[in-house]
Structure 1
Amino acid sequence: MNTKLKQAFITVFFICWVISVPVAAELQVNIDRQSLTLDDRAVLTIEANGDFQLPPDLSPLQQDFRLGAIQRSLVTTHTAGNRQSRTRWQIPISAKTTGSVVLPPLKLQNFISEPIQLSITPGRERAPASTAAQFNDLVIEARLDRLIVYKNAQLIMDVTLFHRQPLPDDTEFVPPYIESGRVIRLQPPNTRTAEVNREPYLVTEFSFALFPNEEGYIRIEGPALRLPEGNLFLLDELLADDLEVEVLPQAHETHDGHWLPSENVFLSDTLGSLPLGDEPRLLRSITLTAVGLTSDHLPDNLLPGEAYSHYTLVGRQSDEHLSSQGVTSVLQELWLLTPELEGTYPHPGTEIHWWDTLSDQARITSKPHGEITIGSEFIPSAVIDIATSPSIKPHKGEDQDFNTQRLGLITATLMLLIVLSYTFYQRWNQHLNRRVTLKRPV
């Protein structure tokens, strides 16, 4: 009966988890726009269920399109002990001919994608600004938050537009481009009013997160602004300057792979009881949050729970969240704990090695290994740390800073005690001398 309750619970949780996870088709092909010009650069995204190293045969595309470097990523989810993988390829493409062009079906093993109809128009010639005053009516600036970045780490590009007139509703904001890596739009354009050189302007701001995965000096093609015909700015297109950054190799390679390049890492660990049947049942949720890292570079797993008989994996899922600060990736694991007898059971911990890209230091964020005691009320013992674990800093410099602060506090406390003791001693000595003086005969 107990086994049936356990199986029923896992089945219900599996169904709920599967409902929350989007299901992809066997082979999907998408493009980020349906109409292009000869000057446009679009991104073709191909997704297939499974772990594939090689993309589909792309030769049918080469007749009508130019292809850029292929970027591959793998998305993995675990549900009720089942591992599901989805492979994604992203390819920049540009059209060679105009007219109505069909993106032909692509084939991967036994899977065939659907064709896509595209409309290709001639590229527009840029209308040059006739005067400096016209050019000053619309200015674009692009800035990077750093000029040196680690491979697969986050690089933020802030884009600012200064304009005297409101932008047309059908203005197209073209993202920056890197040959190898990911570019993610963080927020939609936001417009405010400001005074620039004592003159009123409208200021439109938006930002992107870039994740280059090619080492060395790379060129970033700046973002662009495409305006519809007949606009008040007398411009068809406005380009930001190209930028250059240095991409460093991934830091600290260990037997488990490279350390995660992240701006901050958090671990949360919660444990709760489930009132099902007579046997104790616990549900443990452990979550890794990495700031400035994409989900495809998160670790495959957090806990080695499969090595323990009382641990059953309910689900594992990753996700990405966007904000003005960049990309934050989250990996969550749910484990069902079903100890059969009263007693003490191991409570496995986890350890995440990551490289702090803001301070250039190696760090470790961990949850310690411990034990849980299962009694009549199966109350967890004190060794289970439910709060977020602080970062453990293995580098000597940071340890020395912490030790210096602690030593300074101890020294200051001792000095205060010495001063107080000395003051008390002097006052007591003066009091004794005063008593002796009063008793001394004249």
Structure 2
Amino acid sequence: MVSALRGLILMGLLILSASALATTLEAEVDRAQVEMGDVITLTVTARDLSVTQSLPAPDFSVLDQDFRRLAQENNTQLMVANGAMRKFEQWRVQLSPKRTGILTIPPIRVGKMSTRPLTVNVKPASNSLKDHPAYFLDNSVSPQTLYVQQQGLYMLRFYYRGDLINGAVAPPTFGTAQVLRLANQATYRKLVDGLPYTVFEWRYAFFPTEAGTLTIPPQGFQGQLYLDQRLRQVSGNTQPLSVKVLPIPNSWPDGTPWLPAHNLTLKARWIGIDKPLKAGDTATLELTIDADGQRATLIPDLPMPKVDGIRFYTEPPQLDNDLRTDGVHGRKVLRWTLLFEKPGELTLPALALAWWDVNAKHIRKATLPARTFHIEPAASRQTLKAIEPKNKAPVVHPGAPQDSSALQRWQLATAAATLLALVFMGLWWRQRRLSVRTTHQTETGDTQATRHPTGRKQSDLCHLAPKAFYRTLLQQRDRWPQDRNFTEAMHTLERALLVEPDTHQAEAAKETLCRLIEQIPAKKAPPASTLKPLYPDA
């Protein structure tokens, strides 16, 4: 008895929670751009119904003014989500437009609810659809006139009635033009003067490489078709098409890469400039070029101008073609690493890319504005600090009371320091006599100090990590030897540290530079004095 009561209570809660949800009614069509004879599907969905709630069938009679109603179906689904039971009811109806133009699907009433109105753009059917054979091919091209390397669109359709047992359509050929297939085969239904056809559709983008007339030859089809209880061997061909290809306009500037497109944009992203920049620091510029109606391979590289104080390292570009039903969307991503070599105000000039607007038929330029960087001097490797002795001598003021123990410690420290000074003076005097004797006996100073042009000992320099080693050399650029091997090794080290990080390559470049520094002739110190000793040995 208790368990049955609990079950009833639980079912009641589920019903109440489901009924508390707001019921919605939605409508949508599978295609909003169609031709006369196409069949579209209208779907009406009622959401968030209670499990006990039932709705009357939709009133589709309001569609009869502009559409012919074909097949119709409905289904119901139950599901539990977040502890609430929900019910969905859906109705589908296939429609064929009765006329061309912008047709409105009025609100569909289901009980007290209504959907929002929808619109469908219906265009005239192709001329080849006037006849009603069991099958036929249809092709079209746009635009009829285009420039060299401009995108053209070609569409091929195969219509048939009945059941297609097998068949194949030869791919189209475009002479010397470059071709990209835009999408996989599309399949849909279409009414031609009341007769139902199944349609296979293929779309291509092509780019002529020569001015003149481009002829697209007929496309053929062969297969077997089952129609009217008969198996038929079928074959057919399209009509040839011609396109007029214009040369590059005379107004296009000489020496500029030709780039026709529907639209082109530049978008820059800077990396590493969100902090104060110092000499020796780097930043990265990532430039994305998007071209509608053009391939990524035709988008030219942007050369970087020479800027005093900035060195550029170019990375390989990234190319991508987004193939859509309405054409190609090309993208090229360029990346540069900027090395700031000196402090000051360093300005990267504006960058511009010229392109030809195929719609307006004139030149446009996509630009990236100039940018100025404030570069601070490189930080010193060492900072000297004043060091105070831990045990400072006490300051004795006349007339002030004195601490006898502190005074005694101070006197002992003074005596010890004096004794230590006398010992060092004796050792220095002995060493001086030995040095004078050695200088007198040696004709050339083998122990003379050497100093490399880098301003520090070679052994100390080569013990640094590659990045610290590089920064030290960069700060002493005016002391670099005029040697091609040295310059090439420095460029290799820069690339391994800044552009394409490679620890092994950086270490190898550092070792090469160390060997080259060892080979630099050392600057000898002035010869030691050859005066006779003041006190010769007895």
TM normalised by structure 1 equals: 0.49
Structure with higher strand content: 1
Q: Look at both structures and tell me which one has the larger radius of gyration over its CA atoms.
A: 2
Q: Which has the higher contact order (CA 8 A, sep 6+)?
A: 1
Structure with higher helix content: 2
TM normalised by structure 2 equals: 0.41
